Structure 1
Amino acid sequence: MPDSTTAENSIRRDRSIRLAVVTSLVSKLGTVLLQLISIPLAVRVLGREEFGLFTMVNLTLGTVSLLEIGVGPALAHGLSKARANGDVESQRALVSTSLMLMLGVALLTGALMASVLALVPFDSLFGAKFAGKETLLRPAMWVGLGLFLMFFVVNLTERVREGYLEVASNNLWGAVGNVLGAVFVGVGIWFVPEVWFLVLAVQGAMILAKLGNMVSCWKKHPATVPSPAAFNPSLVRPLLTDGLSFSACFILTGFVEANFCGWLIGRMGGGPSEVALWGVFVTLTVMQLGFVVMLSTPTWPAVAEALARGDIDWARKAARRLYFFGLGFASLSSLGLVVLGPWALGVWLGKSFADTDRAVLACYAAYFIMHVWRHLNHAMMIGTGQVKRLAVIQILETLVMIAVVCVSLSMGSLNLMLLSMAATILLGTGWILPKMVHRALHRVHQG
């Protein structure tokens, strides 16, 4: 019976990953299509400088995500265990407590960010080159702040789906968001060509899709319908500490390497025009990494479940598959960018980006490969239950990264900044985390 049960669980995990990858591919293709269409339209209608302002709004409000503690690993592990035991009350308590935590964080974050927007002059926030742009920036900032805070709550459903190995549902609703986004952006570009409406169109469409996912999840799993009476104070500490560790691993890294770098480029670099180029790099990173995430997202909870059931062979096989696919994709896409990048960017974004230097594309490619390598190791560290250890290592690397970026930009070189970022990852998490993942799988196997 144990062998039969193990085989059935392996088949179920493989099926959930395959379904997640297929649906994710549909969703990611929609995301890429939306970006390929909306960004060049925005550049042509708004102009490169106003598009740079739109980019700065998204990068700045992305700092809100730094305070979204995220309760993903603890919630997913807890739901998997409770569901396996048939414990409906524990499932309800986990979801309800998580929701209350996220509402509290959203309120605190909203008050903090609103104070900054209301009291700090924009040229002090973004640099002297943004002086006189306040009438364009301020409405977009306030609209974006409200939307970003809503993500704190609606994103919780995706963590619940991961706990139930239903990543495919998240992907399908993400595809719905892409369709809505395309419609909204089209309306905005032609009828309301304003920075604030573009922010509303892109982010608002995703909010609506996530709300649909939430209602759908409630209908399928009544135990996930939140109730104040189900709030369990004893769950606050594990959810909060695990969430903070998770945030340090993912959100803090993304904030520093996208938002903080964009802010520094605006202050120390070429102003809105160079920020626009950085925004393109960030967009390329998100789009390309999405094709890796479509496998890593369903893999880590499946690995965690496999280890909990003692199915070590499946976990190691899943790890090898993830590493092979992720590095292969990153290498091929980076090669294509270096070879075809100048021509492709000109066709995609217009003549203002047609003269992009191939050297800066090569430096970005080096950074992107290391970025993907780190992401793969992040996923496996979480899957093997080493979130807190990962947080410590990642925080140290991020502190080094901040210093490296500041020094590189003080020398006036975007190329040097990208290469230095790649080297920092390689010499930090790039070699430490793979060893820890290997040891964890070997230790469990030996045990």
Structure 2
Amino acid sequence: MIVTSITAMAMFADLGLGNGLLTRLAAAAATRDFAKAKSLISTAYVALGGIALLLLAIIWLVLPALDWTHFTRASNDLDPGAIELVAGLCLSAFAITIPLSLVQRVQYAFQEAWKSNVWQVAGSALTVLTVYAAAFLGLGYGAIIAAAVFSSPAVILINNVIYYALEHRELTPTFRDASSGTVASLLRVGLAFFFLSILTSLSLNVDNLILANVSDLETVSEFSVTTKLFSLLALAITLVALPLWPANGDALARGDTDWVRRATKTMMLLSVGAVGIGGVILVFGRDFITSLWLGNGHTISLTLAVSLVLWSIVMAFASPYFSVQNSAGLLRYQFVGWTLFALLSVPLKFMSYSLFGLPGIPLAGVVAYVTFIVPAALLGYRATMRRAATSGRA
């Protein structure tokens, strides 16, 4: 789980090119400018493919040189070689996914979000099946971890092949269509998202690292399993936020601020409602689900479950407002909010854990989110709408 947290924190390794591609590609998709779209897509794939190869080289050069015995102090049962293998598999899967996941941005930009969602569901299902198969066949921890981290990238690869080779040959990325000028254009848009991604990734994925420093492996595992279950609620948030991004960009470009206001309010209510209903189901069914998932004897405390649902609800509320800001490239309010959150939520989580135990960590996150992030979402949304209205009158 520590390795997983590190990879989640490192999602900014694409230098913001993924988000830059989505913003620029949405405009090209709206005008059906396939030549420009292909140039943007090709450039993004070549650039991120190069980053992925560099990361893979660094991973397998650096890992053998690290002292893995440091991690065995928490448990005498841990083998340094096993830790190195797990880290290598997880980090390699992460690096490979960076360029492959661009297809999801392309599908969202062309209003084909449902395709991306179907493939993500398929990736999750394949992960479950392959992990169970590796465990059932007794293939060992290496095969189990490999099944867990490489199944989803394998499905994303299939998505890439089918999308570009069969469905949209006019968008198939090539080296010939990549250009340094297009890289510069994408980076101008993407670098702001890059720095914002650093803030959000570090802020949202630090919990396991905090626990690893203040508790034992059993507690870290309990928290990780619980958060993995309740992370299902984030799916509702993602399903709302990403499709709104290109749709808002298109509407704001046309000056249709009324549509943006209606869509934002509707999606906020839909997102909060979906997360709330899903949260109630998970809270009441948590022990039944974990017994099916992990076997008898595993339970989740009510306070931890409720605190994780509250955390998802506040994120669901803010997400549609951030989508409007992202579509217009107005990020300064988010920078302020996430900077304050990153600086103050970590000490607050340490203190809250000492007072309330495991539920204190997500509860501290809720308090910090409501204090800093929700105001940034609302103020940034209003500023974006004012700017769009002014541009429309001009």
Give me the TM-score of the superposition, normalised by structure 1: 0.77
2:385 is the counterpart of 1:441:
yes
Find the partner of 2:190 among 222, 231, 243: 243
Name the CA distance, whole Å, in 2 between partners of 1:176 and 1:333.
21
Q: How far did 1:429 drift?
A: 1.0
| Aligned-partner residue type, residue 380 of structure 1 | V
Find the partner of 2:158 among 199, 202, 212: 212
Structure 1 contact 122–131 (Cα < 8 Å) conserved: no
5+ unaligned residues in a row in structure 1: which ranges?
1-54
Structure 1 pair 256–431 and aligned structure 2 pair: CA distance change class (3 A): closer
Find the partner of 1:303 among 248, 256, 277: 248
2:219 is the counterpart of 1:274:
yes
| Aligned-partner residue type, residue 313 of structure 1 | D
Bigger mean CA offset, 233-242 vs 274-283: 233-242
Structure 2 contact 10–201 (Cα < 8 Å) conserved: no
Structure 1 contact 57–137 (Cα < 8 Å) conserved: no
5+ unaligned residues in a row in structure 2: which ranges?
none
Alpha-carbon displacement from aligned partner over 1:69-116 (angstroms, at most 9, x marks no partner): 342332123223334445433222211211122123223333444455
Equivalences for 1:37-186 in 2 at 5 Å? 55-124=1-70, 126=71, 128-130=73-75, 132-133=77-78, 134-186=80-132
| Aligned-partner residue type, residue 283 of structure 1 | K
Structure 2 contact 344–368 (Cα < 8 Å) conserved: yes
| Aligned-partner residue type, residue 298 of structure 2 | F
SS in 1 for 2:365: helix
Structure 1 pair 340–251 and aligned structure 2 pair: CA distance change class (3 A): farther
Structure 1 pair 292–371 and aligned structure 2 pair: CA distance change class (3 A): closer
2:253 is the counterpart of 1:312:
no
Q: How far did 1:210 drift?
A: 1.0
Give me the TM-score of the superposition, normalised by structure 2: 0.87
Q: Identity over aligned residues, as a percent?
A: 20
Structure 1 pair 282–377 and aligned structure 2 pair: CA distance change class (3 A): farther
Name the CA distance, whole Å, in 2 between partners of 1:131 and 1:237.
50
Structure 2 contact 333–377 (Cα < 8 Å) conserved: no
Structure 1 contact 312–445 (Cα < 8 Å) conserved: yes
Find the partner of 1:198 among 144, 152, 155: 144
SS in 2 for 1:228: coil
2:277 is the counterpart of 1:332:
yes
Find the partner of 1:376 among 320, 323, 326: 320
Structure 2 contact 236–275 (Cα < 8 Å) conserved: no
SS in 1 for 2:255: coil
Name the CA distance, whole Å, in 2 between partners of 1:143 and 1:388.
37
The aligned length equals 389
Bigger mean CA offset, 164-173 vs 325-334: 325-334
Alpha-carbon displacement from aligned partner over 1:218-260 (angstroms, at most 9, x marks no partner): 23333422222322222323423433433444565244433x3
Name the CA distance, whole Å, in 2 between partners of 1:206 and 1:337.
24
| Aligned-partner residue type, residue 227 of structure 1 | T
Alpha-carbon displacement from aligned partner over 1:15-69 (angstroms, at most 9, x marks no partner): xxxxxxxxxxxxxxxxxxxxxxxxxxxxxxxxxxxxxxxx344334434424233
Q: How far did 1:343 drift?
A: 5.6
Structure 1 pair 113–264 and aligned structure 2 pair: CA distance change class (3 A): farther
| Counterpart for residue 290 of structure 1 | 235
| Aligned-partner residue type, residue 282 of structure 1 | T
Q: How far did 1:339 drift?
A: 4.8
Q: How far did 1:189 drift?
A: 1.7
Structure 2 contact 321–378 (Cα < 8 Å) conserved: yes
Alpha-carbon displacement from aligned partner over 1:191-219 (angstroms, at most 9, x marks no partner): 13533222221332212211121122223
| Counterpart for residue 430 of structure 1 | 374
| Counterpart for residue 364 of structure 1 | 308
Structure 1 pair 341–226 and aligned structure 2 pair: CA distance change class (3 A): closer
Find the partner of 1:394 among 338, 341, 345: 338
Find the partner of 1:233 among 163, 169, 180: 180
Cα RMSD for the two superposed structures:
2.8
